């Protein structure tokens, strides 16, 4: 351990050092070394660091050190995209502040209000939670941020991908003007920077990811898949990522027809352009996606030439690009005009070598991601559904909730007691997700971008849940 790293922990209050020792941390991790000093000086920060890099400690240690244990009121707020992450952060913060008497409250939807209300009434030091349920408490006057000095956005890219931007803008109105705000994200697309402009004041930028010393507008990543399972994995990725709009690139006209039919068969709003179609048909499809009336456009590289869609959120390569130049042309369709974009490639074993080569030629770091498991997909869809429902019922009065929600609880309970009832509930959820628009993202000026309509169909989540009684 260097002298500066040793001083980093040595300069902390003794009770916090004891908490760090209890966790078995003998020396700070790189993200902690870089982020803790400026954070303890109360400056605003943007920190780019991967999950598992120690970033919870990077903001948790300063929070634990700055909280006044004698003041039983929220002094720090940590916003997280999922209930699982909120619980993990809460556990680590409580461990760090154990000897200081730090009280943290995880706040998220899908659980009873009672325990959260009791904890708020008793008094807590730190709120950790998802925006929807936090906004519920704020709107009802059950939570106050008058004493909040530190606000942290953890996994900000995920926060925005799950559609919390409208809620976060509303939460901003409850925050005191004098505060420290810190944003942590694994990726740094423009939509995350829009969030920083709305909440942060002249932030310092710290990157712990090699090759990304500054924010980028397009995130590049790929999934390895067998040729036999490519279409099924395409659907799985689409359901997990939930693109607002995308061009799906294929190398042949036959693949264009096949992929379009596959997406349509599974309830996804898709159309195609290829050399087989008339100019009028191609122009009609392109006009629909530009107008936000079409979610997925399947195309060959030749047919997609000249397409200019400023709000395209994703480019998906169903077929591996045939050259480094083709990859650049494909990915250039997204991330335009300063907006965020994602470039996703499905790569089979035979294409790995050429795909690695195009990364070297283009000098682009393309992250490999594992295919989402059924459990991960279930969690993502659950969070998405819970967020949408919370947003819709939040502004109902107590009487309206009793009329429209509470009276249906016995019906739902009875439906869950039978296999047929579970399938009916699954169908209702699928229909709800299909009829409601995908999550809003953020323009570069901080305003909401109107999303296009989309659909989901029977998923691994539904297939797993259907047989249960």
The pLDDT score that the predictor gives to residue 33 is 92
- Token representation of residue 122: 């008793």
Burial class (CB in 10 A: 0-12, 13-18, 19+), 321: buried
The pLDDT score that the predictor gives to residue 340 is 66
Q: What is the DSSP string of 372-435?
A: PPHHHHHHHHHHHHHHHHHHHHTTS-HHHHHHHTGGGHHHHHHHTTSHHHHHHHHHHHHHHHHH
How many angstroms separate the Cα of 1 from the Cα of each of 7, 9, 27, 37? 10, 11, 7, 16
Extended strands (E) in 167-294: 180-185, 204-207, 218-224, 246-250, 270-273
Strands 76-79 and 45-48, bridge-based pairing:
unpaired
Cβ atoms of residues 264 and 183 within 8 Å:
no
Give the Cα separation of 386 and 378 in Å (integer).
12
Which residues does 9 contact at the CB level (< 8 Å), separation at least 6? Answer: 17, 20, 25, 27, 28
Give the Cα separation of 185 and 207 in Å (integer).
10
The pLDDT score that the predictor gives to residue 224 is 95
Which residues does 438 contact at the CB level (< 8 Å), separation at least 6? Answer: 163, 242, 243, 244, 295, 451, 452, 453, 454
The pLDDT score that the predictor gives to residue 421 is 75
Give the Cα separation of 19 and 10 in Å (integer).
13
The pLDDT score that the predictor gives to residue 459 is 42
- Which neighbouring-strand residues pair with 145? none
The pLDDT score that the predictor gives to residue 129 is 94
Provide the 10 A C-beta neighbour count for residue 311.
Answer: 20
The pLDDT score that the predictor gives to residue 313 is 81
Strands 76-79 and 270-273, bridge-based pairing:
unpaired
How many angstroms separate the Cα of 78 from the Cα of each of 193, 302, 330? 18, 47, 37
Residue of 355, 269, 372 whose CA lies nearest to 317: 355
- Which neighbouring-strand residues pair with 184? 47
Residue of 329, 331, 327 whose CA lies nearest to 314: 331
The pLDDT score that the predictor gives to residue 68 is 94
The pLDDT score that the predictor gives to residue 60 is 95
How many angstroms separate the Cα of 174 from the Cα of each of 137, 142, 144, 170? 11, 12, 8, 7
- Which neighbouring-strand residues pair with 77? 127, 151
C-alpha triplet 162, 30, 45: angle, nearest 5°: 50
- Which neighbouring-strand residues pair with 11? none
Structural domains present in the chain = 3-207 (3.40.50.300), 218-368 (3.40.50.300), 374-465 (no CATH)
The pLDDT score that the predictor gives to residue 369 is 92
What does the pLDDT profile of the chain (469 residues) look like in tens digits? 444 555 788 888 999 999 999 998 888 889 999 999 999 999 999 998 876 678 899 999 999 999 999 999 999 999 998 888 899 999 999 999 999 999 999 998 878 889 999 999 999 999 999 998 999 999 989 999 999 999 999 988 878 767 788 888 899 999 999 999 999 987 777 677 777 888 999 899 998 876 543 445 678 899 999 999 999 999 999 999 888 889 999 999 999 999 999 999 998 999 998 777 776 787 788 888 878 888 999 988 877 765 666 667 899 999 998 888 888 878 877 765 556 678 999 999 889 988 988 888 888 888 899 999 999 898 888 887 877 777 777 777 777 777 777 778 888 888 888 777 777 777 777 776 666 554 444 444 444 443 333 333 334 443 333 333 3
Residue of 59, 323, 106, 344 whose CA lies nearest to 224: 344
């Amino acid at each position: 351990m260097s002298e500066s790293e040793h001083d980093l922990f040595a300069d902390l209050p003794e009770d916090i050092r004891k908490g760090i020792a209890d966790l078995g941390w003998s020396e700070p991790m790189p993200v902690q070394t870089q982020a803790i000093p400026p954070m303890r000086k109360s400056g605003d920060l943007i920190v780019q660091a991967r999950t598992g890099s120690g970033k919870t400690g990077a903001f948790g240690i300063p929070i634990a050190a700055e909280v006044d244990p004698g003041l039983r009121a929220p002094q720090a707020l940590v916003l997280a995209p999922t209930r699982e992450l909120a619980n993990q952060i809460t556990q680590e913060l409580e461990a760090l502040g154990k000897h200081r008497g730090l009280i943290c409250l995880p706040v998220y939807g899908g659980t009873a209000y009672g325990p959260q209300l009791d904890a708020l009434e008793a008094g807590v030091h730190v709120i950790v939670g998802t925006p929807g349920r936090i906004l519920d408490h704020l709107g009802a006057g059950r939570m106050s941020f008058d004493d909040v000095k530190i606000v942290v956005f953890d996994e900000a890219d995920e926060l925005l991908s799950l559609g919390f931007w409208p809620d976060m803008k509303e939460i901003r109105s409850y925050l005191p003007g004098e505060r420290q705000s810190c944003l942590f994200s694994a990726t740094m697309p423009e939509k995350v920077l829009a969030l920083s402009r709305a909440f942060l004041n002249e932030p310092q930028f710290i990157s712990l990811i090699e090759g990304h010393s500054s924010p980028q507008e397009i995130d590049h990543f790929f999934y390895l898949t067998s040729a036999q399972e490519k279409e099924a994995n395409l659907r799985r990725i689409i359901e997990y990522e939930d693109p607002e709009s995308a061009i799906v690139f294929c190398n042949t006209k036959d693949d264009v027809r096949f992929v379009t039919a596959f997406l349509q068969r599974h309830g996804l709003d898709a159309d195609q352009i290829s050399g087989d179609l008339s100019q009028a048909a191609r122009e009609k499809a392109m006009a629909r996606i530009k107008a936000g009336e079409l979610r997925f456009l399947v195309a060959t590289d030749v047919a997609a030439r000249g397409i200019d869609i400023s709000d395209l959120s994703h480019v998906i390569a169903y077929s591996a690009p045939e050259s480094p130049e083709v990859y650049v042309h494909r990915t250039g369709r997204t991330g335009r005009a300063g907006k965020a974009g994602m470039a996703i490639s499905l790569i089979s074993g035979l294409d790995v070598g050429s795909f690695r080569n195009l990364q070297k030629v283009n000098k682009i770091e393309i992250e490999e991601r594992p295919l989402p498991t059924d459990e991960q997909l279930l969690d993502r869809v659950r969070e998405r559904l819970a967020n949408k429902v919370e947003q819709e019922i939040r502004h109902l009065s107590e009487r309206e909730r009793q009329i429209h929600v509470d009276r249906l609880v016995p019906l739902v309970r009875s439906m869950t007691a039978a296999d047929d009832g579970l399938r009916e509930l699954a169908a209702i959820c699928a229909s709800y997700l299909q009829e409601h628009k995908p999550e809003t993202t953020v323009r570069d000026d901080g305003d909401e971008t109107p999303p296009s309509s989309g659909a989901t169909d029977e998923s691994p989540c539904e297939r797993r849940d259907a047989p249960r009684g």
